[in-house]
Structure 1
């Protein structure tokens, strides 16, 4: 008869996200994971597979949580422009209890050149975010917030790229005034 798990699978997965986000994939050992997740090594392997499988699962969970979080926060906005600004503000106003920057961006930098599965997770995440931005631009155009001549696809791609760049910058720049100026420059494209 199979043993029942003595831990909440999602709770320990969230712990793995925190550790991978702080340390990266390469630096994180299985012993680090066992200690941080507070589960036995056998349970880790039985539930999540090897380190790489756990990492990919953590990356997908993070991506889903981030998308749900931004959609919840955007639901309280009054306009498409305000929602787009919120995306930029989320990137620069990090909580102190989470690592700086973005787990997806960290993965792109660390693994995407030699890990096809990680690269595909990053690509999917960025495509989803670009789609959210694109939909907001369309909504803004339909509501008369933005001029009709805006090229929706090109602008969504540009703003997504700017947002990804901003997520990299927050890892090393603490100058909020500079970061806010970057946000304002990007928002100025939305007329």
Structure 2
């Protein structure tokens, strides 16, 4: 029937996202997207309008799943354990299938000059910062710096981890660097007075 999509959109977005993740936004062509999704290029243009719009749709679907998983990793009652779990998840995600971090890869690509793509990247990183602020605002957590600054520092460190993973390919080193940051952010709990 004319005007009705003849494809599974969730599957198409997942396949497109994997290709963008593997090759980067700029290096991915609509012809390659058509080949990997099994949907003709003309149908992709009819459904999404442009490569940018298809990327944004796929990226925003990833956004919600990613932040949901981040919140789950931060749920541990002990703040150090919560941050360790968060960094373990971050490093595992970066290293999965040798594909790196899609957000960092896109931010360092010429695609980040596009205002809509930059806004999507900012939205994800702001959401990540919000998750961290919510967790670090707990009364039981003693920080060496204000909550907002601590959250921004953690987010910034995740971008550095994504780059360092590409250079060193060493999980142990990344985890040690992450835990050094945790030690710098968290104060040791105060001992009760004798």
TM-score relative to the length of structure 2: 0.85
Q: State the alpha-carbon separation in 1 of the partners of residues 150 and 94 from structure 2.
A: 28
Could you say which residue in structure 1 is the equivalent of 2:190? none
Query: What pairs up with 1:91-170 in 2 under 5 angstroms?
Result: 91-94=90-93, 98-111=97-110, 114-139=113-138, 142=139, 144-147=140-143, 150-170=145-165
Task: Provide Cα deviations, 1:98-119, integer angstroms capped at 9, x if missing partner.
Answer: 4432111111110365211111
CA-atom RMSD in angstroms: 2.1
Over 3 Å counting, the alpha-carbon distance change for 1:73 and 1:152 in structure 2 is closer
Matched, 1:15 2:15: yes
Could you say which residue in structure 1 is the equivalent of 2:86? 87
Q: Number of paired residues?
A: 186
- 2:26–2:111: 8 Å Cα contact kept in structure 1? no
Task: Provide Cα deviations, 1:147-182, integer angstroms capped at 9, x if missing partner.
Answer: 5x6411111111111122112222232122211220
Over 3 Å counting, the alpha-carbon distance change for 1:96 and 1:187 in structure 2 is closer
Could you say which residue in structure 1 is the equivalent of 2:63? 63
- 1:100–1:170: 8 Å Cα contact kept in structure 2? no
TM-score relative to the length of structure 1: 0.86
User: How many angstroms does 1:58 deviate by?
Assistant: 1.8
Gaps of 5+ in 1: none
Gaps of 5+ in 2: 188-194
Runs of 4+ more than 6 Å apart: none
Could you say which residue in structure 2 is the equivalent of 1:187? 182
Q: State the alpha-carbon separation in 1 of the partners of residues 98 and 28 from structure 2.
A: 15
User: How many angstroms does 1:54 deviate by?
Assistant: 0.8
- 2:73–2:86: 8 Å Cα contact kept in structure 1? no
User: How many angstroms does 1:73 deviate by?
Assistant: 3.9
